């Protein structure tokens, strides 16, 4: 084909420009360590890499969250540990107080020991986080959860049941705090009857019983009885949980008096009947005693199950130990309240600790998973858009060679002219 001079020059220059471009691009790749200089070079790879970048950026935040959560849980764990130890110490003291050898003064010194423990517990339960927020008050983190209310003589919980949650991976949120309600308030009070002094109803014929007492002395048996029989229905009659001990004279003067225990005037099934002896009537872990003669009746009522926090339990115990007038069964009741409820409080704290441990386990496994994902994501992104240095440098060399070659050929071509020879 016939070639024109213009075309020859144009072609050579085009080639040189093209190769210069190639060198510049290859150099840019080496400098920026990017495989692609713009999206159009590999739209699919780059959009994929962008999604990986998003994952990596989210993961960074999750890692921060994990650290934050880890710190919080550790603080909480050590606080709960301290609380549990204090409660156990208090329980030991309560058990010790049951030893009949202690004098009133001894009991008072035990009481002052308990007061110190109570102070420690108040401090621990009002623990603040590093930024001065209370950790056991639910959502109300600027409200002190436990305060002594002098009007009711009780420690009341002022927080709520809120649970603060931190997200540590996509779709995985973990509780970062436990509120005082779940940890301290939910500890069961000892099940009991409403009043140790029996009610003496007015009956026809006249009630000859003048007084009576009901004490729980078999707590395990009573607990079972209470759980099986307590009627919690709010629509039930007010006397639904009242039991009547009806004392009937013996058929003859020689026969012993008999008793039957009714529930709200109805016989139990099977009927609870027996003879009156010198011993107190023993019914479902309760010790029932009365004064007066048959016929007669005394009533007692099962107490509604309720909760008592450890501070109030200690408060009652301290009051009881300091009282000095309590004797016998009444004193035992105070100690029983203390021992049972401190045990319950301790169990509740341990329960929270267990869930804390579970969360820390989950945290560490998620943390590992996040790390693994992060490495994988970075590797994937790198393979998509980051340059292979060896290849980039060899590309650069190749482009340079091509440029040199096209420049050299241009020089040769330009020198050729027939005019030089005529």
Partner 1 sequence: MSFNLLNIANSGIRANSELLQTTSKNIANVNTDGYVRERTEHSTMIDNQVGRGNTYRLLNEFAQKQLNRDTSNKTFFDQFVVESNRVDTLFSEESNSLSTSINSLFNNVQESLNQPSSTVARSLVMTDAENLINQIDRLSGIVLDQKNVVNQQLDIFTDEANGLIQKIGTLNQDIAAVNGTNNAADASSTFNERDKAIRDLSKLIDIETLDGPNGEKLIFMGTGEAVVMQNGSFNLFSTTGDPDPNFKELKLDVNGGKAVPLEVDASKLKGKIGGLLAFRDDILVPAQNQIGQMGLALADAFNQQNHLGMDANGKLGGDIFNIPTAKGFAYQANTGGAGVSATVEPGKGSNLPASDFIVTYTANPNEVSIQPVDNKGEPLGAATTATFVGGEINSANNPGVDLFGLQLTMAGVGNEGDKFQIKLNSEAAANITLATGRGEDLALASPIRTADDINNTGSGAISAGSVSSVTAGGFTTTTPPALANGDITIVKAAGTNDYLISDGNGANVPITIAPPGKNVLAGLGAPYDGYGFDFDIEGSPATGDSFTLEFNKGGFDDNRNGLKLAELQNGDFVRQNVVSSSDADNHKTFNQAYAGLVTDVGVVTSQAKTNGAAFDALAQQSEAWYESLSGVNLDEEAANLLRFQQSYAASAQVLTAARAIFDTLLSAAR
3 vs 266, beta carbon nearer partner 1: 3
- The footprint of partner 1 on residues 75-134 (CB under 8 A) is 131, 133
Pattern of binders to partner 1 over 152-171, x per CB under 8 A?
--------xxxxxxxx--x-
45 vs 257, beta carbon nearer partner 1: 45
Reported residue count of the chain is 422
71 vs 201, beta carbon nearer partner 1: 71
Q: How far is the CB of 329 from partner 1 (least distance, A)?
A: 26
Q: Return all residues near 206 (Cβ < 8 A) that are at least 6 apart.
A: none
- The footprint of partner 1 on residues 174-233 (CB under 8 A) is 176-177, 181, 185-186, 231-233
CA 96 to chain centre: 32
Q: Is 74 in the site for partner 1 (CB under 8 A)?
A: no
Q: Is 3 in the site for partner 1 (CB under 8 A)?
A: yes
Q: Is 30 in the site for partner 1 (CB under 8 A)?
A: no
Q: How far is the CB of 196 from partner 1 (least distance, A)?
A: 21
Write down the residue that tokens 């002896």 correspond to: 277
Write down the residue that tokens 């609380």 correspond to: 83
Of 21, 24, 33, 57, the residue at the interface with partner 1 (CB under 8 A) is: 57
Of 17, 21, 24, 43, the residue at the interface with partner 1 (CB under 8 A) is: 43
Question: How many CB atoms lie under 10 A from the CB of residue 349?
Answer: 25
Edge to edge, the sheet with strand 286-292 lists 209-216, 286-292, 281-283
How far apart CA 190 and CA 371 sit, in angstroms, is: 49
* 3-state DSSP of 385-413: HECCHHHHHHHHHHHHHHHHHHHHHHHHH
Edge to edge, the sheet with strand 266-275 lists 266-275, 258-263, 242-248, 296-301
Ramachandran area for residue 409 (φ above 0: left; ψ -120 to 50: alpha; else beta): alpha
Which phi and psi angles does 175 have, rounded to 5°? Answer: -60, 130
36 vs 331, beta carbon nearer partner 1: 36
Q: Return all residues near 185 (Cβ < 8 A) that are at least 6 apart.
A: 157, 307, 309
Q: How far is the CB of 415 from partner 1 (least distance, A)?
A: 13
17 vs 95, beta carbon nearer partner 1: 17
Of 1, 101, 251, 390, the residue at the interface with partner 1 (CB under 8 A) is: 1
Q: Identify whether the C-beta of residue 230 lies closer than 8 Å to the C-beta of residue 241.
A: yes
Binding piece for partner 1, criterion CB under 8 A, among 53-61, 144-152, 197-205, 327-335: 53-61
- The footprint of partner 1 on residues 295-324 (CB under 8 A) is 304-307
Tell me how many degrees the CA angle 295-298-304 measures, rounded to the nearest 5: 160
Count CA within 13 A, CB hemisphere, residue 106: 10
Number of chain positions touching partner 1 (CB under 8 A): 71
38 vs 269, beta carbon nearer partner 1: 38
Q: How far is the CB of 332 from partner 1 (least distance, A)?
A: 25
162 vs 292, beta carbon nearer partner 1: 162
Of 27, 53, 258, 382, the residue at the interface with partner 1 (CB under 8 A) is: 53
Q: Tokens representing 222? A: 């009573």
Write down the residue that tokens 């002094």 correspond to: 197
- The footprint of partner 1 on residues 392-421 (CB under 8 A) is 417-419
How far apart CA 24 and CA 233 sit, in angstroms, is: 86
- The footprint of partner 1 on residues 324-383 (CB under 8 A) is none
How far apart CA 202 and CA 219 sit, in angstroms, is: 30
- The footprint of partner 1 on residues 224-283 (CB under 8 A) is 231-236
How far apart CA 320 and CA 338 sit, in angstroms, is: 10
Binding piece for partner 1, criterion CB under 8 A, among 10-18, 217-225, 241-249, 339-347: 10-18
How far apart CA 243 and CA 261 sit, in angstroms, is: 7
Of 21, 24, 64, 239, the residue at the interface with partner 1 (CB under 8 A) is: 64
Pattern of binders to partner 1 over 132-151, x per CB under 8 A?
-x---xxxxxxx--------
Q: How far is the CB of 213 from partner 1 (least distance, A)?
A: 26
64 vs 104, beta carbon nearer partner 1: 64
Q: How far is the CB of 418 from partner 1 (least distance, A)?
A: 4
38 vs 150, beta carbon nearer partner 1: 38
Of 39, 197, 210, 229, the residue at the interface with partner 1 (CB under 8 A) is: 39
Tell me if residue 244 falls in helix, strand or coil.
Answer: strand
Tell me if residue 103 falls in helix, strand or coil.
Answer: coil
């Amino acid at each position: 084909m016939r070639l024109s001079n213009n075309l020859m020059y144009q072609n050579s220059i085009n080639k040189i420009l093209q190769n210069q471009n190639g060198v510049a691009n290859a150099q840019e790749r080496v400098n920026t360590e990017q495989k692609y200089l713009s999206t159009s070079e590999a739209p699919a790879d780059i959009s994929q890499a962008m999604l990986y970048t998003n994952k990596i950026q989210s993961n960074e935040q999750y890692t921060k969250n994990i650290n934050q959560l880890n710190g919080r849980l550790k603080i909480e764990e050590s606080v709960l540990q301290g609380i549990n130890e204090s409660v156990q110490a208090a329980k030991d003291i309560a058990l010790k107080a049951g030893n009949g050898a202690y004098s009133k003064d001894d009991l008072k010194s035990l009481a002052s020991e308990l007061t110190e423990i109570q102070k420690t517990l108040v401090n621990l339960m009002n623990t603040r986080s590093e930024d001065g927020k209370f950790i056991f008050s639910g959502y109300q983190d600027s409200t002190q959860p436990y305060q002594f209310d002098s009007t009711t003589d009780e420690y009341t919980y002022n927080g709520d049941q809120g649970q603060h949650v931190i997200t540590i991976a996509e779709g995985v949120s973990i509780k970062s705090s436990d509120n005082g309600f779940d940890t301290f308030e939910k500890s069961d009070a000892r099940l009991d009857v409403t009043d140790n002094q029996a009610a003496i109803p007015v009956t026809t014929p006249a009630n000859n019983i003048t007084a009576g007492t009901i004490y729980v002395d078999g707590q395990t048996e009573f607990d079972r009885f209470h759980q099986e029989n307590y009627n919690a229905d709010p629509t039930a009659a007010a006397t639904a949980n009242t039991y009547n001990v009806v004392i009937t004279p013996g058929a003859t003067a020689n026969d012993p008096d008999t008793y039957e225990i009714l529930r709200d005037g109805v016989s139990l099934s099977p009927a609870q009947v027996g003879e009156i002896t010198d011993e107190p009537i023993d019914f479902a872990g309760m010790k029932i005693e009365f004064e007066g003669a048959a016929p007669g009746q005394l009533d007692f009522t099962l107490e509604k199950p309720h909760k008592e926090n450890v501070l109030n339990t200690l408060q009652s115990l301290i009051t009881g130990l300091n009282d000095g007038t309590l004797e016998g069964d009444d004193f035992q009741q105070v100690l029983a309240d203390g021992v049972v409820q401190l045990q319950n409080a301790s169990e509740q704290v341990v329960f929270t600790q267990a869930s804390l441990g579970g969360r820390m386990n989950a945290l560490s496994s998620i943390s590992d998973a996040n790390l693994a994902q992060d490495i994988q994501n970075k590797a994937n992104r790198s393979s998509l858009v980051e340059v292979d240095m060896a290849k980039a440098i060899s590309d650069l060399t190749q482009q340079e060679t091509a440029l040199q070659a096209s420049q050299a050929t241009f020089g040769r071509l330009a020198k050729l002219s027939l005019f030089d020879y005529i």
